[in-house]
Chain A
Amino acid sequence: MTKHTTSMGGAMLLALALASFPAPARGAIPGVEGPSFSLTARAGFVSTPEGGSIYSWGYADGAGLMQYPGPSLLVDEGDVVTVTLSNELPVNVSIVFPGQQGVTALGGVPGALTSEVEPGGTPVTYQFTAARPGTYQYFTGTDTQLGVEMGLVGALIVRSATAGWAYGHADGAYDREFLVLETEMDPIIHELVETGRIAEVDFTAYRPVYWFLNGRSAPDTMVPAGAQWFPHQPYSCMPMSHPGDRLLVRLINAGRGLHPFHTHGQHMRIIAQDGRLLESAPGAGADLSFLRFTTTVAPGGTEDAIYSWTGDNLGWDVYGHRPGDPLEPGEYALDHGKPFPVIMPDPKDLEPGPYYAGSPFLGVAGYRPPVAGTSPNAHAGYVFMWHSHKEYEMVNNDTPPGGMMTMLIVEHPDVPVMEM
């Protein structure tokens, strides 16, 4: 599927109508502010778009509900971070922090990779200095194979000392930031664990059939963050942009599989991997960054991408300007005033999808034949799919469309962009 911005089903129509949750205090990525965290490993149920409910394990924020993925831990460069972990699961759990150095663990019992908390046991406090800004993940270091599958994963974001920079260099400057955390699930394993049959779990027969971005499968990825009917999946994955905005896309592969991730509309420029700027020398900036049509983040790893849509090189003016009109912010100037090169078909000949706004021009709603429901594209934005290029991962338990997929909406500069 490579050309499909207007073909989604009706469930997605809910997407933009329901944004009544508070914006996060700092930054666009919702999460829990550090530097001290209290997490509890507990069980809960993950909802899937076709009505499924999967027993899962996850980290909860203190006394809160289990979350999938766990709370995004938001800290500042240089913070001394403490994470105290309690455990209500029937197995030992722990947390490891790849990319962090000098992590200490106090309490609990010794484990393979770090100290662990026994079921109902004394908590473990992990501590480290978030010495370097970047995008990281955390996950259980105890029976990682099972624990990661069950949901014991989350994001750790270390914000740069310079606001609006991902790293200590202007090459990481961004206008908006978004989390894209990839996971997958094989519900057979979850069912065995739920029914106390852990001994029967066979990972050699592992076959995931659900794929998630920030803990949700499409089209639920586009339901606003904090929606009440996703008590265990508080995060959405719905990037929004104005033309020319620099989006910082914090990609995390928190699962076990490979997910070739593709962004329609524009290539990604990969500026960092595993929380390290791709630089040839300290201070050189992201001079080793590279463009990617599709990027596959290593399981356990992260990448930071800058994505910036201007419509460059389309060969026509996305606003339908005449040559003498003023430029819009972020407009690709070389195409200014160039006419739209297509004769528009008669509306009677159109069968529009829900995102079609009735005109080819950004922010211009034209006549569109009526379709059921409310349009998720009320402001005539441009809609670009972001998804796994393993097309079979764009399904929910064999039912397409869904899975590891979401939509970027580029809005006209005059339209306020919601923080999702």
Chain B
Amino acid sequence: MKKYHAATVRSASLAPALALLLGSAAGCATGDEGDPQTRAALTSVFVYLRAEAFTKTMPDGRDVVMWGYAQDSAFGAHDGVLSSPGPVIELQADTTRLTVQLENNLDVPTSLVIDGLRQSLPAVRHPDGRVRSFTREASPGNVAPVTYVYSVLRPGTFLYKTGTSPQVQVQMGLLGAVRRPSAAGEAYAGRAFDDELLLVYSEVDPELHDAVAGGQYGPGLAVTSTIKYVPQYFLVNGEDVMSGAYDVDPSLAGRRLLVRFVNGGLRSHVPLFLQADVLALAEDGFPYKYPTKRTAVLMPAGKTADVLFTVPASGAKLLYDRMF
């Protein structure tokens, strides 16, 4: 049980954090030259994702089984690092086609959807007719990749996640972010930025994770639903820092900072800016016709939002969650 704890602040300056984000994204950003599809269309992005369980040690020392994604260099290569949220899927302004090939190293079927991007969704049903998955599944230990193709792309910030039993699998950690600029250094038409920050929110209920990982979840078992979801850990980019704040360093004064928010959790969160107000550009990857100013950004479950501001001379603080 996580008790009350003092606020902590991630005081890293923005530059290393950005480098980290861009670094983790670089593998996704470039198409695989060796792949026939990529040779055919250089505006195509090809991503190999592997879904698998891993153990994360929380700040209080508790080990929690998470389900996450790794990005491999090829199907079966297993050279990527598992994380939740999974690796950022980076699309470029001229990317016209995204192909994700999924390997499933979980012991249950899983799948992949990107909220807000057009796709065909051949639902998979339970024997009684109920939908189990929004789209075709990769079965456990699949020997051939299951391929998801997105050919109707638009600029924006999106949430990708499992489409199979999402009420269980998303909270286990199967989520991540997709981003696509409208041009290099431009979030949406006419909205240029100098620096970029991507913040993915999620939560963890360790009891639920233990039940799922220990085979105690399901009909007739100890835990039969996720209705009593009681998260104990509140994550931003996979780290339990939601009680803290992001420090936008004064050295960035005058630069235009784009912040992309993705809520992959099941709770609402409200990032709050101090010393600055921000232009709310878009929601769910749809730009507002007339952006307006905000200091508090309401982020219900599944929401993405993009905001833009010029860093003031004082720098700024971003309280991760005023609802925390």
Contacts and interface: CB of A to CB of B under 8 A. Distances in A.
A274 B296 contact: yes
8 contacts: A103-B274, A113-B319, A145-B4, A205-B230, A276-B293, A276-B294, A298-B270, A301-B272
B296 A299 contact: yes
Contacts of B231: 204
B318 to A, nearest CB: 10
B18 interface: no
A270 to B, nearest CB: 11
A274 B298 CA distance: 12
A293 B94 CA distance: 42
A19 interface: no
A301 B270 contact: yes
A203 interface: yes
B272 A201 contact: no
Interface stretch (A3-11, A71-79, A94-102, A167-175): A94-102
Contacts of B319: 113, 144, 300
Given A102-B275, A202-B1, A288-B290, 4 more contacts: A202-B4, A256-B322, A275-B295, A296-B298
A342 B192 CA distance: 61
A274 B314 contact: no
A200 interface: yes
B295 A274 contact: yes
Contacts, number: 114
B9 A112 contact: yes
B4 A198 contact: yes
Interface in B266-324: 268, 270, 272-277, 290, 292-298, 312-314, 317, 319, 322-324
A144 B275 contact: no
Contacts of A198: 4
Contact of B295 (A102, A103, A300): A300
B274 A274 contact: no
A141 B243 CA distance: 11
A142 B294 CA distance: 22
Interface residues of A, number: 41
Contacts of A102: 275, 312-314
Contacts of A143: 6-7
Contacts of A274: 277, 293-296
Q: Is the interface of A mostly helix, strand, loop or mixed?
A: loop
> Chain B CB within 10 Å — which of A256, A274, A278 has the most?
A274
B2 interface: yes
A201 B275 contact: no
B167 interface: no
Interface in B1-38: 1-4, 6-9
Contacts of A201: 3-4
A113 B294 contact: no
Nearest to B322: A300
Contacts of B295: 98-99, 274-275, 300-301
A97 B1 CA distance: 33
A14 interface: no
A257 interface: yes
B151 to A, nearest CB: 34
A280 B243 CA distance: 34
B276 A301 contact: no
B4 A300 contact: no
A32 interface: no
B225 interface: no
Most interface-central of A98, A102, A257, A276 (chain B CB within 10 A): A98
Interface of B: 1-4, 6-9, 230-232, 243-245, 268, 270, 272-277, 290, 292-298, 312-314, 317, 319, 322-324
Contacts of B273: 98
Interface string A251-279: 00000111000000000000001111011
Contact of A199 (B4, B230, B232, B296): B4
A146 B268 CA distance: 18
Residue among A203, A258, A275, A298 facing the most chain B CB atoms (10 A cut-off): A298
Contacts of A257: 323
A257 B3 CA distance: 20
B234 to A, nearest CB: 9
Contact of A103 (B4, B293, B314): B314
A204 B2 contact: yes
Contacts of A301: 270, 272, 294-296, 298
Nearest to B268: A258
Nearest to A141: B274
Interface string A184-215: 00000000000000111111110000000000
Interface in A358-387: none
A142 B6 CA distance: 9
B243 A204 contact: no
B314 A199 contact: no
Nearest to A143: B7
B275 A103 contact: yes
A-B pairs, 9 with minimum CB distance: A301-B296, A300-B322, A201-B4, A276-B293, A298-B298, A298-B296, A300-B272, A300-B296, A112-B9
Which of B9, B275, B298, B319 gathers the greatest number of chain A CB atoms within 10 Å? B275
A146 to B, nearest CB: 7
Nearest to A254: B322
B322 A298 contact: yes
A141 B231 CA distance: 24
A204 B1 CA distance: 8
B255 to A, nearest CB: 16
A276 B8 contact: no
A256 to B, nearest CB: 5
Contact of A144 (B7, B268, B290, B293): B7
